[in-house]
Amino acid sequence: MALSTGTHAGALLAAAVLLPFVGMLLGVLLGGRQVQRVALACMPLGLALALGITVAWLREGQTLVYLLGGWAPPLGIALRADGLAVAMLLAVAAVVCGIGMYARADFATPPDVRESRAAFSYWLLLMAVWGALNLVFVSGDLFTLYVALELLTFAGVPLVCLAGSGETLRAALRYMLFALCGSVLYLLGAVLLYGGYGTLDIPLLAGAVQPGAIARTALALMTAGLLAKTALFPLHIWLPPAHGGAPAAASAVLSALVIKGSWFLVLRLWLDVMPGVVTWASAQLLAGLGATAIVVGSVVALRQERLKLLVAYSTVAQIGYLFLMFPLAFDATGNVLVHGAASTGGLLQAVSHATAKAAMFMAAGLVYAALGHDRIADLAGIARALPVTVLAFVLAGIALMGVVPSGAYLAKKLLLDAADGSGQWWWTIVLQGGAAFTAAYVVLVLGSALRRRSAALMQVKRVSRLAEFAALLLAVGSLALALAALGPLPGHLVSNPLAPKELAMTLLVLVGGALLALGLSRAPLLAAPRPAAAAPAGRLRQAALALGIACEQADRLVRRWSFASIGLLTLAALFGALLLVGRAT
């Protein structure tokens, strides 16, 4: 058969998907200590593949395509890599390498056994997550994407309960059931689309889909299902206990990587499959959920007593941030969602979040390992004991805030420009406020970590230098994403960070963050509040505390199963309704 198999470098896409899976299978076969070796050997290879794909994509200047078996869609399956996919492939490969470096110490097979459960499972599941994510990024077929999503869930759930405690098992079970609910809704949508248009291939569907009952229902169901898997507020039923209770190396995978899979799929659906079905109002709803997630997630994060839970709740907030791009990418004149500055910003946000959040969880894990606890109030002296770790935490925090030239800074800038350009000033407030909230919990942790300790700090365990270095590397990497401005992004975005306007903005965000931290943290941040400022500040603090408690209660309420599952269906119904009526600008 003389076959055309797509673009020249397309075979790299198949290799990128297969490599982690083959590594996993070889790991099962070889067992014992070889599992870790195989996994670690796959990582540089996978990174090289991702770099190769990036180079090929830049050189060819178009979407890479590979037809599997030479069968063209709609009968066959095509792998495709556009800019979005290439960026995510590269980011995930880098984060996986960082996590691999970090986890070498935590998940080494103990010397006295041939094979240990935790090490065997961790490395193989990490490979599985990686392969599934690569598949999510490059697959061009909605059903293959369903299988990829399920792969991601089956690999993610056991990572949650790798430690085996009752609380994490419960979290894992909630995650599993809720995610299954979400994926059935996704599959239902895909089935409807097949019934309506006779194909599951993304470009073919994009050409055929008309805004009608079938497309709207499918989009509403699929979006709601994917949001459940992404854990966007109020569907974050499983996230905090799962991410807070898992081992740090697993939390990093879950928080930085696993949720990106379903988020990416929402992006694909809205931008590439049904951009013409999406309406202004539905995009507003999506971002509105994101804004709520930022507020509730951040406030609850500030009220946590344990560092890992703080980071877990900050993930809830950051997921919200990832959805702010949708109304900004909406082209009101054409009534379609378009690729442009806003979608680039959103993508950059996701990449920065993946790197920085992984670094943050790693740092939190190192603190826990060193101290034997991670109570925020008792962190005094840790900055002196683990300077590299604390530096990694702070840099990751800065990267998430988007204040100095970091990846998130560029992302925020792109989104702010898009908000200005489309006259949606309310998203400007949310974007800046979100940064201030992020600043708040960095200040909170730093305030505690920098305090001097009267007695010598008791370290229960020496932490691995390599692990500290890995966390720092990812955090620095997130900052260095600003260099993207030199390459594919327009250069005018990088203004001088020391220019008065930029500096003032940075300062504003930091001060806002400090005030939020002061007001909302559970324990008073300063050991002895100044009596002079007590009276007016006291009333403010009361109000802030009331807000904090209200957010906590709201969080607890929506994380009840019945509420969350009803919320899921209600959201699907709302999206359906807004897709129907929301065509006014």
Partner 1 sequence: MNVETLFALCACALVGIGLYGLIVQPHPLRKLVAFNIMGSGVFVLFGALAKRGAAAGMAADPVPQALLITAIVVAFAATAVTVAVLLRLIESTATASLANEPPSGE
Partner 2 sequence: MTTLLSLVVALLLLWLALWTVVARDAFVAVAGFVVYGLLLSLVWVRLAGIDVALTEAAIGGGLTGALLLGAVGRLRGTEAAAAAERSGAGTRAFAALLSLGVTMVLALCVLALPEPAPTLAPQAADNLPATGVGNPITGVLLAFRALDTLLEAIVLVIALLAVWSLAPDRFWGGRPGPRYAADPDGVLSYLARVLPPIGIVVGLYLFWAGADHPGGKFQSATILAAMWLLVQMAGLGDAPRIDGRWLRTGIVVGPLAFVAVGLLGAWQAGAFLGFADGWAKPMIVVIELALLPTLVLVLALLLNGAPARNSGKMPAGDGGR
431, interface contact from partner 2, partner 1, none, CB < 5-8 Å by kind: none
Choosing from 214, 404, 457, 494, the residue that interacts with partner 2 (CB under 8 A) is 214
User: Whole-number minimum distance, CB 192 to partner 2, in Å?
Assistant: 6
CB-wise, 11 or 40, nearer to partner 2?
11
Which residues lie below 8 Å from residue 288, measured CB to CB, with a gap of 6+?
none
> Least distance to partner 2 from the beta carbon of 293, Å?
22
Smallest distance, Å, CB 287 to partner 2?
Answer: 24
For the CB of residue 434, give the shortest distance to partner 2 in the complex, in Å: 31
Nearer of residues 214 and 505 to partner 2, judged by Cβ: 214
Task: For partner 2, give the closer residue by CB, 144 or 349.
Answer: 144
Cβ count within 10 A of residue 279: 24
Give the one entry of partner 2, partner 1, none that residue 508 binds, where binding means its C-beta sits below a cut-off of 5 to 8 angstroms depending on kind: none
Q: Report CA-CA distances (Å) from 169 to 124, 241, 248, 556.
A: 19, 10, 16, 19
Give the dihedral sign, CA 268/269/274/277. negative
Q: Which stretch binds partner 2 (CB under 8 A): 24-32, 425-433, 517-525, 543-551?
A: 24-32
In the range 548-567, which residues lie near partner 2 by CB under 8 A? Answer: 562, 565-566
Peptide bond connecting 529 to the previous residue in cis, omega within 30 degrees of 0: no
SS (H, E, C) 222-242: HHHHHHHHHCCCCCCCCHHHH
CA dist., res. 417 & res. 431, Å (int): 11
Please report the DSSP string for 308-325 in residue order.
Answer: HHHHHHHHHHHHHHHTTH
The conformation of residue 456, written as its DSSP 8-state character, comes to P
Q: Using omega within 30 degrees of 0 as the cis cutoff, is the peptide bond preceding 234 cis?
A: yes
Query: By C-beta, is 23 or 73 nearer to partner 1?
Result: 73
Give the count of residues interacting with partner 2 (CB under 8 A): 71
Residue 116 found at the interface with partner 2 (CB under 8 A): yes
- Both tokens of 316, joined, read 């809830």
Partner whose binding site includes residue 490, from partner 2, partner 1, none (CB under 5 to 8 Å by kind): none
Cα separation of 75 and 200, whole Å? 9
Round to whole Å and give the CA distance between 4 and 91: 30
Q: Which one, 172 or 257, has the nearer CB to partner 1? A: 172
By CB under 8 A, tell whether 29 contacts partner 2: yes
Query: What's the first-to-final CA gap in the chain, in angstroms?
Result: 52
**Nearest distance from C-beta of residue 187 to partner 1, angstroms:** 5
Q: How far is the CB of 23 from partner 2 (least distance, A)?
A: 11
* Chain contacts with partner 1 (rule: CB under 8 A): 75, 143, 146-147, 150, 153-154, 157-158, 161, 164-167, 169-170, 172-174, 176-177, 180-181, 184, 187-188, 191-192, 194-195, 198, 241, 556, 559-562, 565-566, 569
Q: Does 238 bind partner 2 (CB under 8 A)?
A: no
Separation of alpha carbons 443 and 375, rounded Å:
15
Which of 140-148, 240-248, 307-315, 349-357 is the region at the interface with partner 2 (rule: CB under 8 A)? 140-148
Residues 144-163 as x/- pattern, contact with partner 2 by CB under 8 A: x--xx-xx--xx-xx--xx-
Rounded CA separation 38/46 (Å): 12
Classify the C-alpha dihedral 385-389-395-400 as positive or negative.
negative
Nearer to partner 1, 167 or 420 (CB): 167
Of these, 41, 44, 60, 117, which contacts partner 2 (CB under 8 A)?
117
**Nearer to partner 1 among residue 209 and residue 291 (C-beta):** 209
* Between 173 and 476, CB nearer to partner 1: 173
Rounded Cα distance, 349 and 409, in Å: 9
For residue 128, CA distances in Å to 91, 243, 419 come to: 17, 18, 38
Q: What residues between 174 and 213 interact with partner 2 by CB under 8 A?
A: 188, 192, 194-199, 212-213
As a whole number of angstroms, the distance between CA 224 and CA 182 comes to 7
